[in-house]
Each structure stands twice: as C-alpha cells, then as structure tokens.
A and B are shown apart, each in its own frame.
Chain A
Amino acid sequence: MEALLELPTRNGRRAPRPVSEQRFPSFDSRLARHGLHPLRATGIEVFQINVGKLCNQTCRHCHVDAGPDRSERMTRETAEACIRALERTDAHTVDITGGAPELNENFRYLVDASRALGRHVMDRSNLTVLLLRSQADLAGFLAEHEVEVIASLPYFLAERTDAQRGEGVFDRSIEALRLLNRLGYGQGGKLRLNLVYNPTGAFLPGDQDALEREFKRELDRRYRIHFDRLYTITNMPISRFLDFLLESGNYERYMERLVNAFNPAAAEAVMCRNTLSVGWDGQLYDCDFNQMLEDTVGFGAPTHVRDFSADLLAKRRIVTGLHCYGCTAGAGSSCGGTTA
C-alpha cells in the first residue's frame, strides 16, 4: 500500500493524500493551458444542501464516508438559514443530498420550504431508505411534492451492485424502484426518476447514452422497472474510493487515466460553476467533493451560510484540487451526469 502524506487544506485542517499525487500536474496548471484559469462561478443555479453523513448503508465508494454510525446532521437552525439564503438566489433547483438525506429530521422541512419558494427539488436517494419502517410514508411524500428522485444503482445485477453497496442492497433497491414506479415515477411525466451509475471498480464510466439504453432494456426485461434518465458519474479519487484505489494498487493508473483524459469542454462546463454546496454545519463549498475534503469556498467569498452573499458567491473563484480531474475526464462528470 502506498505511503500517505498529510497535506494542509485551505481551512487549516489536514487530510491524508497519497505521496505520488505530487507527480501529477496541478489542475490549475492544466486549466491555464486551455485559458480557463482561474475557474470562476457563472451563477448559482443549483443550491445543493448536504444535510449530513448519516446513512443506512455503508457503500465502498462513498465520497462522504457516510454510514449508520455517523452523527453529523444539519440542525433546524442551519436548515432555516439555508432557506433564507435560497430565497436570495435565482437558483431553480435545490439538490438535497447526504448520507441518506431523508433520515435527517429537517429533510421534509427543506422540501416543503423550497417548493413553497417555487424551486424544483431533487432528492439523492439510496433507494433502500424508502423501505425503512420509519420512512413508510416517504415515497408518498416525495410524489406529493413532485420531488425528482436521483437514485443510486450501479448495475442491473445483484453481484456488482452488492459488491459496491452492501449485501442485499440490490434486491431492496429493486423493491424500492417498483414502489416508485407504482406511484407514477419514471414514466416520463412530472415524477422524475433518474438513476445514477457509478463504476464498480477502478475504471471509468462508459458512454452515458449507451449505458442508459442498456439499463432501460435490462431493467425492463428482468424486473419491469422503468426510469427516465441514467446519469454516469466518475468515482472521485477521495475518501473511501481513494482507500480502495490505494489498497488495490490502482491509484496511479486511475489518476493517469483521469489526467490524460482531461477535456477542456468538460472543464468549461463543470458543475461547480453553477452550483453552491452547503455542508451540514452551514459551511459553503464549491462542490460536494470539496466539502468532503473540507475545502470551503475561498478567495474572499463568505464561507458560512449565515454570512450568505449571493453577489459574492455567484462570481466566486472556484477552489480546485487534483480530484477535479474526475469531473473533467472524457465526457465530464457531474451530479447530473456528463457535461460535454
């Protein structure tokens, strides 16, 4: 296993990084070669709220390092501050994530309040949460509020899905998808059901449209399940997936792949340029990945939701790192799939 080096993050805390990452060209230098440095936000169209790390699953690739034992949760006070901040933006979409965001006691408040402001709401769901006894009315709540469900399903067979997400997760995910289909989700109407595909190993996602066709055919043929779109997302070389890369001896090869596949068109369209990410404690980040590295927004922008300034944040300079190559490789990767 490769040696780790402790590097300071912007907020002074330290995060372990592989020694060999120093061999790769910095993301900023690559941006500069294509006239994209410094990378700046173009506005706040998507207001992403990560309500905490609590989850009923412990997935092997999770960049949040979420699980049942995590106690970081967004309080009502911070949730209300988020809504006050949202009100001051033109963001058309509120993207609620976690952990399993539905397990936060303020999840439904955030949905209600965002919808009352006329914003579209997305719930990043692990699917199995819909089957928990305590969440028996959750699917109905989501449908009633026309919440778009972005559901994780890395493959249409149990073996690969369970290898990434835990034993028995695939079967329960299929049950949850059937529940959503029965409520009208994934039928091409208002109730949008989109799936997220993450590669189940040290390889990159293939063509999004081709994989979507494959998933649609196989999920229909095998389980009579329907969904709207499939989003392919590249696994970021951070947190648990980084652990996997290091332990399996794949780190350098994977990083080379990301670096060599840098696509300026994808860099121009990275999601951080139109997204603001709020952490469970109200800290502000350029994206959910920077959030997990505890790299708050920088370069003079306010770093907490209580100090929210739509003007400053909408034009902020983006904080970058080596992991950003994950969003700019090939056809690009974002919370909404490919970008280029």
Chain B
Amino acid sequence: MAPSGVAPFWMSPYGPVLDVAWQVGGSDAHGGFTADGYSRPPVSFGIAFGVRLAAEGDQVSHYYEDHDLSRFGEMGRNAPELWDKFNDWYQATFKEGSLTGREKALIALGVAHALQCPYCIDAWSQECLEKGSNLDQMTEAVHVAAAIRGGAALVHGVQMRKRNDELSM
C-alpha cells in the first residue's frame, strides 16, 4: 500500500526511456550505473538495481521510495572518478569466477538482508530468480545472513562476561 499523499509507483508517469549504454559483444556482462542516473542492464538481465525512472515532480516525503533506486547513478556527479572505480569494481565482482553468478547472487541476497537494504533486497531477489535459484535456496541464504547477525550479537556476550568478571567481586 502506498503512503497517503504519494502517488504509488505504478501510477507515476515515468520519465523518458533512454537508450541504455549497451556494449554489444563487449565484456560488460553485469550492468552498471551511468552518471546521469540511468541503470545499464547486463547481458544476463541480471541488473543489480532496478530500472524505474524517477518522475519529475515526485514528492519526496518518504525514505526508500523504490523509484529512487534509478537515481543511484547521480552519486557519480560530484565524485566521478570514485564512482567509476566503484562501478568497475562492482561489475568485476559479479562476473562469473570461482563462484558462479547464481552463487554470488545468493551471497548478495544474504548480505542485503544483513544490511537491511530494501533496494538491495528487491534487486537481488529478482536477480536470484533470474539466475535460476528457487525460494528454498533464497530462504536459506537469508537464514545464513540472519544467523551470522544473531551470532555476531551473541558472541559479544563474551565481552559482556569479561567486563562482568572485571567489575565483579
């Protein structure tokens, strides 16, 4: 349900659909983001983030609007060199290597949950489906992330115990 006073995304007129920077026959298999705010789809469609374009005049009254994702590329406007480095690194990271693209997508899905990033969860859920993962595998990946988060909290209990030992008679 969309928040009241804000047009739900499916009713928003979206901006111009731009031609993407498609690299025909190139090695760019994992998409990326252009500095003008548009995402570039990878060959596998395994786009890391969404493609919805922000509409002019959209009200900005809530965090985590899903169409804001397509503005991610704006982060390249004021520090383009750093942005390009991030983009190159990001694309290289998700190329098939010792791990398959499907395995990497499952890791990313788990990390997205650990970080509780709604953009990442949306994008990597879709990516996992496109790469052939099923709901059992995706759920296990989320449990792995949750278990590590839970364990990380719990293991700090040792610190609590040490402090207790120091302070107590």
| Chain B associates with chain A | yes
B13 near A207: Cβ-Cβ < 8 Å: no
Interface flag for A249 (CB, 8 Å): yes
Interface flag for B86 (CB, 8 Å): no
A207 to B94, CA, bound (A): 13
B28-76 contacts to A, CB under 8 A, are 29, 39, 41-47, 51-53
Contacts of B134 in A (CB 8 A): 155, 157, 159-160
Interface flag for A201 (CB, 8 Å): yes
Pick out which of these stretches binds chain B: A62-70, A179-187, A258-266.
A258-266
B130 near A265: Cβ-Cβ < 8 Å: no
Interchain nearest-CB distance for B124 vs A (Å): 12
A203 near B129: Cβ-Cβ < 8 Å: yes
Interface bits A251-286 vs B (CB < 8 Å: 1, else 0)? 011001101111111000000000000000000000
A-B contact count (CB 8 A): 94
Q: Do A264 and B17 form a contact, CB below 8 Å, given A204-B130, A329-B45, A330-B41? A: no
Interface flag for B132 (CB, 8 Å): yes
Q: How many residues of A contact B (CB 8 A)?
A: 37
A199 to B126, CA, bound (A): 11
B101 near A253: Cβ-Cβ < 8 Å: no
Residue of B nearest to A234 (CB): B45
Interface flag for A23 (CB, 8 Å): yes
Residue from the list A207, A252, A264 in contact with B22, Cβ < 8 A = A264
Residue from the list A23, A30, A213, A257 in contact with B13, Cβ < 8 A = A23
B17 near A24: Cβ-Cβ < 8 Å: yes
Interchain nearest-CB distance for A161 vs B (Å): 11
Interchain nearest-CB distance for A168 vs B (Å): 19
Interface set of A (CB-CB < 8 Å, partner B): 23-25, 30, 33, 155, 157, 159-160, 199, 201, 203-207, 210-211, 213-215, 249, 252-253, 256-257, 259-265, 329-331, 340
Q: A207-B44, A252-B14, A256-B14 are in contact. List 8 more A-B contacts (CB 8 A).
A: A159-B134, A160-B134, A206-B131, A213-B100, A260-B18, A262-B20, A330-B44, A331-B45
Interface set of B (CB-CB < 8 Å, partner A): 10, 13-14, 17-20, 22, 24-25, 29, 39, 41-47, 51-53, 96, 100-102, 126, 129-132, 134-135
Query: What are 26 A-B pairs with beta-carbon distances under 8 A?
Result: A23-B13, A23-B14, A24-B17, A33-B19, A155-B134, A157-B134, A159-B134, A199-B130, A203-B126, A203-B129, A206-B131, A207-B29, A207-B43, A207-B101, A210-B101, A210-B102, A249-B10, A252-B10, A256-B14, A256-B17, A256-B51, A257-B51, A260-B51, A264-B24, A265-B24, A329-B45
